């Protein structure tokens, strides 16, 4: 299977599921959407498609970028463009198979389900019912899982290196009207690359074409854009496909199913943090200098909206993803629709996965609207923090732990309010929409405070404690 020629992209069109080629996707105006049972696999497939498009069809400048967003490629433009890269993206190439190393030595093969994050060798049942549910997969799903494991997941464990962005980075991408438009909105131009990757041509071939050397130190400024997008930190090799059957991942019939792979430990050193264009970054400021530079990740169970400001707005200690910044600059009239995807992990295990779409009724040039949105989200976060702090103080004196459950309820019940704010900002006067949102958030917090504290107010001491912290809670809300 060759990713540039074979029908491997799982799409849904008019209710029908099928696999199409990259050529069909990029040369048609049809309304297509990715279709996989797992949202994280859809996010991985989207990132893989963006990386492929970036490799073969990088636009030169703003004009070509805009043209690609508006108009499909022609078949005549597609076919000659893929020729230099044909051997890069063949899943079963005899010498340089996609994201693999030939001749990997392993004592025994690893079940293919290990490649699907969330079910490492049948020990973690976070996303599946049965340990052996993923027994055989089609080449399409194998390629997507290979890419996802390499670029967006924790490593295989001790002795294995992780992705360039760390164990579980947040990915933020711009969503278009359809799959084809979405791809182009997230492809960098030559002008953007020249600015942010000055040494892009130094080392710019994928690691399975130009392999990493063991026990070698690599400096991130020497890693080109294409090499970094397809960075494979591990040494592994898919087993040859077996008999035909139904893929356990996408449920499509396949001429051959891949059931295992070999992996071996492989270590090297990496100096610095490579600039990945699909993720927001964060750091600490000490005496005006950036320290502990890293990629944004889901470190708590809080919903994705709690970090939305960091996806859209640069601050003293955060920077939005490069593809988001480029879209803001080159298409200021583009409506803001943001795809957010990622995992929450505990070492090599994943405990939570996210894939959300935020359709915000604003355009990039609408600074006043984005400022209003920022104020609303900051207010909700401040109320969330106030509620937790006051319930924590109440619990210490009343002998109860209430803040965790209340915070979880606040997260669950505030999420639809945030999405409703986006809708209201398009239908109502913005100040009225923001005032209404603040009132709803305060009402939610008050209800949760009362629900959490009422069971402990049946004694004079409990009632006194309740009154003290309720007064403090109301004073805090008034100050906000």
Q: Domains in the chain and their CATH numbers?
A: 9-271 (no CATH), 366-480 (1.10.132.100)
Over the Cα atoms of the chain, what is R_g? 24
pLDDT value, residue 129: 41
- CA-based angle 53:101:269, to the nearest 5? 85
- CA-based angle 282:283:288, to the nearest 5? 135
pLDDT value, residue 307: 87
Say if CB 452 and CB 391 are below 8 A apart: yes
Instruction: Please identify which residue in the block is written with the tokens 């105006």.
Output: 29
Instruction: Please identify which residue in the block is written with the tokens 């990132």.
Output: 47
pLDDT value, residue 16: 84
Provide block-wise average pLDDT over 10 residues at a time, the chain (480 residues).
96 87 94 90 96 97 96 95 95 96 91 79 44 83 95 81 86 94 97 87 86 90 93 93 90 92 90 94 85 86 84 89 95 92 77 82 83 89 94 87 88 90 78 91 95 88 89 93
Scored b (16 or more CB within 10 A) or e, 25-55 reads bbbeeeebebbbebebbbbbbbbbbbbbbbb
Scored b (16 or more CB within 10 A) or e, 219-229 reads eeeebbbbbbb
pLDDT value, residue 65: 97
């Amino acid at each position: 299977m060759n990713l540039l020629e074979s029908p491997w992209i799982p799409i849904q069109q008019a209710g029908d599921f099928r696999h199409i080629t990259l050529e069909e996707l990029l040369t048609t105006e049809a309304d297509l959407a990715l279709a996989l049972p797992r949202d994280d696999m859809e996010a991985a497939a989207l990132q893989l498609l963006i990386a492929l498009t970036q490799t073969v069809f990088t636009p030169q400048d703003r004009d070509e970028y805009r043209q690609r967003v508006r108009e499909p490629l022609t078949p005549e433009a597609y076919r000659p463009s893929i020729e230099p890269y044909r051997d890069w993206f063949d899943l079963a190439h005899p010498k340089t198979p996609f994201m693999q190393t030939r001749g990997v030595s392993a004592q025994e093969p690893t079940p293919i389900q290990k490649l699907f994050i969330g079910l490492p060798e049948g020990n973690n049942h976070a996303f599946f019912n049965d340990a052996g549910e993923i027994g055989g997969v089609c080449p399409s799903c194998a390629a997507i899982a290979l890419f996802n494991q390499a670029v967006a997941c924790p490593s295989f464990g001790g002795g294995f290196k992780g992705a360039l962005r760390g164990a579980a980075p947040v990915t933020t991408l711009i969503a278009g009207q359809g799959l084809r438009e979405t791809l182009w909105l997230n492809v960098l131009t030559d002008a953007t690359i020249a600015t942010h990757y000055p040494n892009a041509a130094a080392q710019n071939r994928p690691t399975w074409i130009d392999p990493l050397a063991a026990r070698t130190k690599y400096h991130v400024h020497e890693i080109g854009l294409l090499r970094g997008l397809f960075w494979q930190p591990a040494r592994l090799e898919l087993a040859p496909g077996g008999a035909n059957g139904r893929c356990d991942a996408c449920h499509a019939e396949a001429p051959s199913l891949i059931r295992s792979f070999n992996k071996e430990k492989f270590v090297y050193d990496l100096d610095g943090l490579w600039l990945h264009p699909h993720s927001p970054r964060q750091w600490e400021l000490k005496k005006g200098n950036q320290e502990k530079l890293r990629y944004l990740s889901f470190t708590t169970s809080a919903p994705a909206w709690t970090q939305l400001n960091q996806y859209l707005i640069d601050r003293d200690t955060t920077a939005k993803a490069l593809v988001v910044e480029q879209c803001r600059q080159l298409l200021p009239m583009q409506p803001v629709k943001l795809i957010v995807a990622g995992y929450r992990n505990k070492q090599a295990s994943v405990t939570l996965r996210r894939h959300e779409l935020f359709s915000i009724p604003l355009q990039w040039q609408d600074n006043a609207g984005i400022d209003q949105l920022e104020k609303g989200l900051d207010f909700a976060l401040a109320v969330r923090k106030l509620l937790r702090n006051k319930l924590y103080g109440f619990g210490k004196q009343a002998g109860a732990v209430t803040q965790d459950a209340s915070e979880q309820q606040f997260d669950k019940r505030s999420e639809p309010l945030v999405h409703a704010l986006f809708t209201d900002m398009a239908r109502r006067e913005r100040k009225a929409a923001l005032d209404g949102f603040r009132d709803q958030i305060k009402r939610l917090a008050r209800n949760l405070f009362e629900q959490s504290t009422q069971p402990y107010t049946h004694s004079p001491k409990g009632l006194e404690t309740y009154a003290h912290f309720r007064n403090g809670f109301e004073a805090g809300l008034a100050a906000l």
